[in-house]
Amino acid sequence: MRHRSLLLLCALAILPGIEGCHKAAAPAKPDPLRNAYDVEVDANDPTHLIGLSYQQAQGKRVFYTNCVWCHADATPAGPSNRSNLTPVPPLMNDGATLNGVSDEFMQSIITLGGSAMGKSAMMPPWGRTLSPDDIKAVIAYTRAIAQPAYQPPARAASPYSREAGPGPATK
């Protein structure tokens, strides 16, 4: 059961690649490395694996436990719930939609749920189920698998905003 679900999981990982290319590429030979949490298949080249950092890998784990059911076209258990929902939830690697959304907004909508942020109430709040670190990890993972690739927002030229801290560093 577990192994089968992992196989499906890797099929899922290949899917966006095929979609992205808009051609019926033959699914690559299943490589068991795809099943591992610390790598992800390159969407543009199914034979290439991208290493994930610790945080991104934890995000992948959380994603495949909690989010995959509605935010992917295939799930470890087989059919996806995504097509059941109106509005249809975005795919987690849909960079065209999600790259424009800030980390802060993502953190809020995952924590508080869709209705709190003016989106569909079908997105439940996860703030009491997942820890803030889990949620940050999921966002990091989303950014890592985004197609087209995610570019962190360019820092403004202000001397304050170049600081990484939340406010201006006066130290």
Partner 1 sequence: MAPEEMGKVTYRMRLIFAASSLLFVAVLAVSPVKDLLREWKHYKRGYLQFARTRPDTKRLTADYRPDLDQIWIPEMNVVDRCASCHQGITQATLADGSVPQPYRAHPPIPHRVREWGCTPCHRGQGVATEVAEAHETTLAWEQPILPGRYVQGACGSCHHDARPELPKLNRGRQLLADHNCAGCHRLQDIERSVMQGPDLTSVGTKVSREWIYKWLKEPRTVVDDSGNVKVNGYETQESPRMPQFRLSEQELHDLSAYLSAQRSHPVAPYKFSGAVVAKWGKRPDVTDQGELRFRQMFCSTCHSLAVTRAGETKLIGGEIGPELTKVGSKVNPDWLAAWLLNPQGYLAHSKMPRYEWSEEDLFTVTRYIETKLTDSDLLSNVPQLGAATKEEIAHGKKTFSEKGCASCHAVGSSGTQKDFGPDLSALGSKNVSQLEFGKSTIPRNLSSYIQAKITDPSSVNSAARMPQYNFNAADLEAITTALLSMTGPPATSALQKLTIPRGNPQFQPAGEFARIYERYQCADCHKFNGYGGDLAPDLSYEGSRAQRQWIISFLKNPQTLRPTLTFRMPQFNMSEREAAVLADYLSMVMQSPDVRQEAVNAKELTPAQAALGKQLYEVKYQCQSCHTIGSGGGYVGPNLNNAGNWLKPEWIAAWLSNPQALVPGTIEPHRTMTDGEIKALTAYLMTLRQSGGKAAQKQVAAHGAKAGGNGVAGQ
Residues lying near partner 1 in the complex (CB under 8 A) are found at: 1-4, 6-7, 29, 31-33, 35-38, 53-55, 58, 61, 65-66, 69-70, 75, 77-81, 84-85, 115, 120-122, 124-126, 128-129, 133, 159, 162-165, 169, 171
We find the least distance from the C-beta atom of residue 22 to partner 1, in angstroms, to be 25
Which lies closer to partner 1 via its Cβ, residue 21 or residue 79? 79
Closest residue by Cα to residue 97 from 77, 79, 119: 119
Which lies closer to partner 1 via its Cβ, residue 20 or residue 49? 49
We find the least distance from the C-beta atom of residue 163 to partner 1, in angstroms, to be 6
- Which phi and psi (to 5°) does residue 56 adopt? -65, -35
We find the least distance from the C-beta atom of residue 137 to partner 1, in angstroms, to be 9
* Dihedral angle computed from the Cα positions of residues 125, 131, 133 and 137, in that order, rounded to the nearest 10 degrees: -50
Which lies closer to partner 1 via its Cβ, residue 22 or residue 159? 159
* Dihedral angle computed from the Cα positions of residues 85, 91, 97 and 103, in that order, rounded to the nearest 10 degrees: 110
Q: How far, in Å, CA of 109 to CA of 5, rounded?
A: 28
We find the least distance from the C-beta atom of residue 147 to partner 1, in angstroms, to be 20
Q: How far, in Å, CA of 38 to CA of 160, rounded?
A: 35
